[in-house]
């Protein structure tokens, strides 16, 4: 991954709408064998095609609560909503249910 090279191969040949930042994050996660944090459906599909494990923001928050890093998930979801993070009402309800807050 050479930042001077511009868009990566996955960015050029990847699914429509996959930005260079998402493409590079996938390549980095693949190279370092890390789990990728991605909510965008296209990015998750591109990662899956490269056998890169993915989790979304909801799962990250649930795990943070389970490990004692957060007391509650709902206030964090409220803060994300306030800054424009889009989350459907059913998905929000499911996240809160899995976090034992629903």
7 and 44 inside one domain: yes
Rounded mean pLDDT of the chain?
A: 87
51 and 74 inside one domain: no
Q: Give the range of the structural domain holding residue 45, as residue numbers without chain letter.
A: 3-55
What percentage of the chain reaches a pLDDT higher than 90? 71
50 and 11 inside one domain: yes
Q: In this structure, which long-range contacts are made by residues 25-29, counting pairs with CB atoms below 8 Å and at least 24 apart in sequence? A: 26/50, 26/52, 27/1, 28/1, 29/53
Per-residue model confidence as pLDDT tens digits over 20-65: 888 889 989 999 999 999 999 999 999 999 999 999 999 999 999 9
Cβ pair 35, 29 in contact under 8 A? yes
76 and 33 inside one domain: no
**CB neighbours (10 Å) of residue 30?**
16
48 and 69 inside one domain: no
8 and 29 inside one domain: yes
61 and 85 inside one domain: yes
């Amino acid at each position: 991954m050479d930042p001077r090279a511009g868009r990566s191969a996955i960015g050029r040949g990847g699914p429509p709408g996959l930005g260079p930042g998402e493409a590079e994050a996938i390549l980095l996660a693949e190279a370092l064998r890390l789990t990728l944090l991605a909510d965008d459906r296209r990015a998750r599909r591109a990662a899956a095609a490269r056998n890169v494990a993915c989790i979304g923001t909801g799962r990250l928050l649930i795990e943070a609560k389970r490990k004692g890093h957060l007391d509650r998930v709902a206030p964090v979801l409220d803060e994300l909503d306030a800054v424009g993070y889009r989350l459907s009402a059913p998905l929000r309800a499911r996240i809160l249910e899995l976090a034992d807050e629903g």
